[in-house]
Each structure stands twice: as structure tokens, then as C-alpha cells.
Amino acid sequence: GNSVTQMEGPVTLSEEAFLTINCTYTATGYPSLFWYVQYPGEGLQLLLKATKADDKGSNKGFEATYRKETTSFHLEKGSVQVSDSAVYFCALSAPNTGNQFYFGTGTSLTVIP
């Protein structure tokens, strides 16, 4: 079946620290992979995506590389800011599954000044 396993939080970092949030997946076929972010009181927003192996998605200083050999899509940022405090969700969409997304449980990030 299809599933996403995400690094558990909460994660607390100081401003300018390096961020990694781990995400691994199991899927039938070759999925597309996504990171969504949910800021306090707001809806889910797409952060980045990758649709095939070795693709790198990037946005707002965040990056994630689609690794087929390790079935991973880890989120990284070199220097976090207080404004990055949010909940981050890894998700996949797989062929022949009705276009539904499968989400991880989310990782809460708090960045302190």
C-alpha cells in the first residue's frame, strides 16, 4: 500500500540553525512527493514538490530531493528563521489511487530567536 512516515516532533531550533525533517515512503509505482506547510491558524500550503526520481524541489530556501533508492524525501533548510515556525507535512500521490494524497503525521517546528 501507500504510506508516509515522517520524523516525529516537535522540533525546536535556534534561529539560523540547520533543519532536517525526515520523510520516507512506501508506494505502489512511482509516486509524486510533496511537502506542505501549515502556519498557525492557516490552511495547508504547498512548499515544494518532486515528480520523479532525483528531482529536487526547492522554495523559500527549503529543499528536498526525491531518492528512489532510499524511498526518502527529506526536507532541509540551511538557516531557519522564526517565521519558519509551522507544521510541515510530507505527502505522496501515487498512480491508480484516485489522485488522493497520503500524508505523514506532520512535524511541528518552532524556531526561537
Partner 1 sequence: DTGVSQDPRHKITKRGQNVTFRCDPISEHNRLYWYRQTLGQGPEFLTYFQNEAQLEKSRLLSDRFSAERPKGSFSTLEIQRTEQGDSAMYLCASSPGTSEYQETQYFGPGTRLLVL
For partner 1, the binding residues (CB under 8 A) are 4, 6, 31-32, 34, 36, 42-46, 49, 51, 89, 91, 93-95, 97-106
Quick one: 43 or 113, whose CB is closer to partner 1? 43
Of the two residues 17 and 101, which places its CB atom closer to partner 1 in the complex? 101
SS in 3 state form for 44-69?
Answer: EEEEEEECCCCCEEEECCEEEECECC
Least distance to partner 1, CB of residue 8, Å? 10
Q: Is the dihedral of CA 104, 93, 99, 50 positive or negative?
A: positive
Least Å distance, CB 52 to partner 1, is: 9
Sign of the Cα torsion 73, 3, 105, 10 reads negative
Residue 49 CB, nearest approach to partner 1 (Å): 6
Instruction: Quickly list H helices, the chain.
Output: none
C-beta closer to partner 1: residue 98 or 113: 98
